[in-house]
Structure 1
């Protein structure tokens, strides 16, 4: 039903998540990030509360990812239905797949990343994601999307996927990338990649406008001078 990758860029400190699902609007429930703190993907029969709770434990209590994940799972119950991956601001990671995870499932930690999925066509889909992320060049968002494309090339889910999301945080308290395809009959990951290619050259302009409106480039709309 869902596969995802959480990752960190050691050069910039950016944290990000790319995720896709057969369900509608996966980006509304499953990816959770906090700048400088961590990234959490909560999926399978997801409990969205796990994301903020784990980030709070990483941030306020300075817990390591494995301990924060265990604390959050044990305090909410029904952990056998959850699949959760975590990476913190230092690149430390943790993962969990409950005994009731759907269909073929797998979770693999790699260098500065963790990938996981359920209802997969094969467990090798997740291994392909990790290898692709580790080998891909470019910005963190590029590397996350390369992992998603590798997952599809390796067989993806057992059935069709319909939604996808890409989210990245950097030094600011708001996401610098937050792109979603909430429903597509075909190829939501490809559509998400197209969105990123359209947004990528404009990303810095939006940051500049927010931080210093006097330095903002032209908006390129009628009436803008």
Structure 2
């Protein structure tokens, strides 16, 4: 019921996760990121606690593979979980339990890893990774959105998609981008792409406003000088 991609951009140092699901508000539960450390997506039968546990191990210096293995070895319901990880070296790891739903698949690529369950076909995940890797010069958010769209074009889920989201962390402790479509009857991924087109030109300005308001640009709204 979910397909996702986690990626790292060595040029910017950014980490990001983009994902979609037939379940409501998928981006509220599955993606976990830490600036300078890594990104995790916990899905299938989602256990949000896995994200912080893996990130803490990454923060302590463990590789993506070592952190994922250690946490899943302690997880009593590992068979129901599907988890992807990318660390600050661009190394990736993925776990898909034996009870992952429906057609499920996973693939690791250069600085990225994608996985999904209840898919129309395994080609969905293959298309996502191929698209992400197609042009590394693009901004991370553009690559993640394009990968999600490629997965949809390759068939997406076996059923309808109702929610989507993308989260990106950069140099600060809070997300640079945190976009969510919690429920959309027709085109959650298309709606997310529209959100990104509106947000991307403003994202760095909002970062400047937070760090140094004296240098922040004006948006011409009442009270904004």
Structures share fold, TM-score greater than 0.5: yes
Q: Deviations over 1:131-179 (max 9, x none)?
A: 0000045200000000000001100000011111101111111110110
Provide the rounded CA distance (Å) in 2 between the counterparts of 1:140 and 1:32. Answer: 16
Between the two proteins, the alignment pairs up a number of residues equal to 224
Q: Deviations over 1:54-90 (max 9, x none)?
A: 0001112x11111111111122211000000000011
Provide the rounded CA distance (Å) in 2 between the counterparts of 1:157 and 1:30. Answer: 17
Provide the rounded CA distance (Å) in 2 between the counterparts of 1:51 and 1:221. Answer: 38
1:112 and 2:111 aligned:
yes
Aligned to 1:90: 89
Provide the rounded CA distance (Å) in 2 between the counterparts of 1:215 and 1:98. Answer: 49
Aligned to 1:139: 139
Normalising to structure 2: TM-score of the pair?
A: 0.97
Aligned to 2:53: 53
Aligned to 2:19: 19
Aligned to 1:175: 175
Deviation at 1:220, TM superposition (A): 2.2
Provide the rounded CA distance (Å) in 1 between the counterparts of 2:205 and 2:141. Answer: 17
1:206 and 2:225 aligned:
no
Structure 1 residue runs of 4+, over 2 Å off?
Answer: 222-225
Q: Tell me the C-alpha RMSD between the 2 structures.
A: 0.9
Provide the rounded CA distance (Å) in 1 between the counterparts of 2:122 and 2:198. Answer: 32
Provide the rounded CA distance (Å) in 2 between the counterparts of 1:224 and 1:172. Answer: 24
Q: Which runs of 5+ in 1 are unaligned?
A: none
1:185 and 2:185 aligned:
yes
Provide the rounded CA distance (Å) in 1 between the counterparts of 2:145 and 2:44. Answer: 20
Q: Which runs of 5+ in 2 are unaligned?
A: none
Normalising to structure 1: TM-score of the pair?
A: 0.97
Provide the rounded CA distance (Å) in 1 between the counterparts of 2:12 and 2:216. Answer: 23
Provide the rounded CA distance (Å) in 1 between the counterparts of 2:99 and 2:62. Answer: 27
Provide the rounded CA distance (Å) in 2 between the counterparts of 1:174 and 1:17. Answer: 14
1:8-47 superposed matches below 5 A: 8-47=8-47
Deviation at 1:219, TM superposition (A): 2.9
1:55-70 superposed matches below 5 A: 55-60=55-60, 62-70=61-69
Provide the rounded CA distance (Å) in 1 between the counterparts of 2:115 and 2:187. Answer: 20
